[in-house]
Structure 1
Amino acid sequence: MVANCESAPKSARSGEESVRSVELFSGCGGLALGLAQAGFEHLLLVERDRHSVENVQHNIGRGIEHVGHWEVHSKDVRAVNWRIFKDLVEFVAGGPPCQPFSIGGLHRGEEDARDMWPEAVRAIREITPKGFLFENVRGLLRLKFADHLDWIKLSLTEPYLAQRDNEDRGSHLRRLRNRETEGAYKVMVIKVNAADYGAPQKRHRVLFLGVHKSAASSIEAPRPTHSRERLLWDQYVTGEYWRRHCVRKPPISPNNAMDCLTVESLRIEGREPEELPWVTVRDAIADLGEPGSQVKIANHVLQLGARAYPGHTGSPIDEPAKALKAGVHGVPGGENMIAFADGSVRYFTVREAARLQGLPDDYEFVGSWTENMRQLGNAAPVQLAASFGRHIRGILCKAHRPSRKAA
């Protein structure tokens, strides 16, 4: 059984022990790549969307770092027999479809045929991994979905108390709430902003972090590594941000009233925030130049037609971007674009959007701009996945590290 970090396969990049894993609903590979960077070795990725699979397979064929050895299957997760991975992997990850819970969707929750949380639970039940990480939209935390959220968490806590044939979700939830055991897994539901973990994007998500009770008696979330306060410090207290980019420093205070209060407090206290600064759009894309200016950079092509309109004003270049959107009917124009300081706007190129999601420049996208932006709008930021992956991997490896005997 590959459940011991001491005997797991070596990471192709660093020589460190890796943790074997599988991933459901892998999309274009953001979550998988972040976990791979953190030392996870994916034995299988499953994704039904053929366009996403084509992009992942394209990069597998190109031998991209962390990606070249992946195996991705284009199939419905409901057809996968996860039992064959029992004793072979110790980690499960995935991003179940978010449309049933998205603020921009129909809000049908468990009544939506796209609700695949039962399949995520089934994978845990059949594989019995040491840990897991699932990602979804923060809309899942709304009061409307309170019972469904409780069902997800309790089902992941005790996946072996499965829903019976002909048993409705409400009856199963009551059994889960009345269970006599404490559950096989310690589970945390964590509300995060990807910008707090180094992504150049204000992407609010909810993560389900679980560790088998044999691996840890308790768990906690990793501490954020970046902060808005530190960015404001660099911009409006020291001015380091503007000097770094060779940009004329704007007026002494930001436009946002709340940010003004934060800057004033930082000046008065003289307290330099200990975190790294939020990464801005300018930080992420400055070296790319204008679209089309570097032919060696793939997918950096201008898309015409961007315009701002009420409620869709684009992402200010000197802040982390607004969350990239996939859209129900194509890409919503006002969201996936840059708002420059002079008031002009333009669409993000596919390469710029990929950088906002943490995908490297050698990770190429095939197909149309609209289709690729849809995939990127559904992706998990690599930086967020890597940060949580390192944290979880540390928990798992610590659990299996031989204890030192007293001299």
Structure 2
Amino acid sequence: MGAKMQSAELFAGCGGLALGMSHAGFRHQHMAEFDQDAVATVLHNKAKGIEHVRDWPIGLQDVREIDWKKLTSLDLVSGGPPCQPFGIGGKKHGQDDHRDMWPEAIRAVREAKPRLILFENVRNLAGPRFRPYLEWIVSHLERPGMIRGLEESHTEHRARLATSKSRKDYKVVWQLVNAADFGAAQIRHRVLIFGIRSDLDVVPTPMPPTHSRDRLLWEQYVIGEYWARHDLKRRRTPILQQDHARIERLKQADTEPTGAPWVTVRDVLEGLGEPNGKRNHVLQIGARIYPGHTGSPLDLPAKALKAGDHGVPGGENMMVRDDGSVRYFTTREAARLVGLPDDYEFPRSWTESMRQLGNAVPAPLGAAAGRWLAAQVEGGKSLGGLASTRRAA
């Protein structure tokens, strides 16, 4: 990417998506977050002068109070509206939950008129229960100026949006992704929504994976390179029973899998060592296995970190070591799983820090999505062309 694109982020949390977007070449002009502890984490690292973070203009702010009309030179609006209304573990009230902030995300697009849109949320948003709401979100992002009436249901509004003869302001596409397919050390399934303003004459397309489970299995159980890299004895039996047939297919294939392998827990924690009490690398006792909660093996990406509505889930957020024992991930280890650097500190308790990390978008996924969106625009118009259209819409 040439000159940096100007961006704003809603619902910034502890900075996972924001860091990914910074790595992708975006410069944040505005960042909003309502959670006091998450803002304290970012401000702590901003004061430490952490790369990228030191330049973030973040403060404790309710997105409902932002006048986006004052931010009309943005190339991108991004963010992850609170997922609790749609998450598997919540009450699933969806659009009827007072925490649903999708209308505010759409208002930001309507008022700021950015060139690009990038939003993310939980996979459950694309499930049978909430799929109609996802379709409403996409339709409304395409025509953010067609506001829903006070007495108009989401279904009625979606029908009005779909039958409108007016030109769409944005071209929008959504896709389901697994963060592990884009270099994150977590198996974390999310919905991504990409949007490009219509006057740029670029139709967004889904983002192709860069990493794969097949490539990891190839390096582990076909050529053995993975074990050699970690100076371990080569293993013949896969961790998951269902991978046996997959490995046999790989052995019989004419060509090896392309792309990069999934990043494993062992990969991402290499060099960190056992907890030493420094820089959030502190041992937490009490980890245990129970039905449905068995921890993350070292030689796969971690299971998705969980935020937990009532503290850290007892059987989650833990690793399964080589001897079969389990222990909780330290905050430092969890930060690596999210893609945060080792000098990025969490000043709050382990439980609070793990809540923030469980809510965070893995930075590698954010970086991949940001680069993909920017590349599509650069393929259609140059950044100079982007700059010249900033106030055109």
TM-score in terms of structure 1 length: 0.92
Identity of aligned residues (%): 52
CA shift for structure 1 position 136: 0.3
CA shift for structure 1 position 154: 0.3
1:389 aligns with 2:345: no
CA shift for structure 1 position 255: 4.2
CA shift for structure 1 position 135: 0.7
Q: How many residues align?
A: 384
Match of 1:208 among 193, 213, 218: 193
Contact 1:237–1:263 at 8 Å: present in 2 too? yes
Deviation sequence 1:367-405 (CA, Å, 0-9, x none): 1000000000000010000011111112233443279xx
1:169 aligns with 2:157: no
Deviation sequence 1:8-46 (CA, Å, 0-9, x none): xxxxxxxx4100010000000000110011100001110
Deviation sequence 1:302-331 (CA, Å, 0-9, x none): 111111111000001110000000011111
Decide which moves more: 218-227 or 233-242. Answer: 218-227
Structure 1 match to 2:280: 299
Contact 2:202–2:377 at 8 Å: present in 1 too? no
Alignment of 1:278-289 (within 5 A): 278-289=262-273
AA at the equivalent of 1:209? F
Decide which moves more: 266-275 or 300-309. Answer: 266-275
Contact 1:215–1:395 at 8 Å: present in 2 too? no
Alignment of 1:4-403 (within 5 A): 16-86=2-72, 88-250=73-235, 252-292=236-276, 295=278, 298-401=279-382
Measure, in 2, the Cα distance between the counterparts of 1:270 and 1:342.
36
AA at the equivalent of 1:216? D
Measure, in 1, the Cα distance between the counterparts of 2:116 and 2:206.
14
Contact 2:21–2:367 at 8 Å: present in 1 too? yes
Which portions of structure 1, spanning 4 or more consecutive aligned residues, are displaced by more than 4 angstroms? none
Deviation sequence 1:330-352 (CA, Å, 0-9, x none): 11021100012321000000010
Decide which moves more: 176-185 or 232-241. Answer: 176-185
Measure, in 1, the Cα distance between the counterparts of 2:197 and 2:158.
21
Contact 2:200–2:380 at 8 Å: present in 1 too? yes
SS across alignment from 2:54: coil
CA shift for structure 1 position 253: 3.0
SS across alignment from 1:325: coil
Measure, in 1, the Cα distance between the counterparts of 2:379 and 2:7.
17
Measure, in 2, the Cα distance between the counterparts of 1:183 and 1:304.
54
Measure, in 2, the Cα distance between the counterparts of 1:399 and 1:223.
18
CA shift for structure 1 position 177: 2.0
Measure, in 2, the Cα distance between the counterparts of 1:226 and 1:342.
28
Deviation sequence 1:104-141 (CA, Å, 0-9, x none): 11111111111100000000000011011001000101
Question: Where does the alignment leave 5 or more consecutive residues of structure 2 unmatched?
Answer: 386-393
SS across alignment from 2:100: coil
Structure 2 match to 1:9: none
Measure, in 2, the Cα distance between the counterparts of 1:337 and 1:236.
25
Measure, in 1, the Cα distance between the counterparts of 2:335 and 2:254.
36
Measure, in 2, the Cα distance between the counterparts of 1:255 and 1:55.
36
CA shift for structure 1 position 222: 2.5
Deviation sequence 1:226-275 (CA, Å, 0-9, x none): 1000000010011111111111222x231433311111111112521111
CA shift for structure 1 position 195: 0.3
Measure, in 2, the Cα distance between the counterparts of 1:388 and 1:168.
32
Measure, in 2, the Cα distance between the counterparts of 1:398 and 1:169.
35
Measure, in 2, the Cα distance between the counterparts of 1:322 and 1:59.
27
Contact 1:235–1:241 at 8 Å: present in 2 too? yes
Deviation sequence 1:88-119 (CA, Å, 0-9, x none): 21110000000011011111111111110000
SS across alignment from 1:287: coil
Contact 1:253–1:263 at 8 Å: present in 2 too? no
Contact 1:333–1:347 at 8 Å: present in 2 too? no
Contact 2:177–2:191 at 8 Å: present in 1 too? yes
SS across alignment from 2:98: coil
Measure, in 1, the Cα distance between the counterparts of 2:226 and 2:155.
53
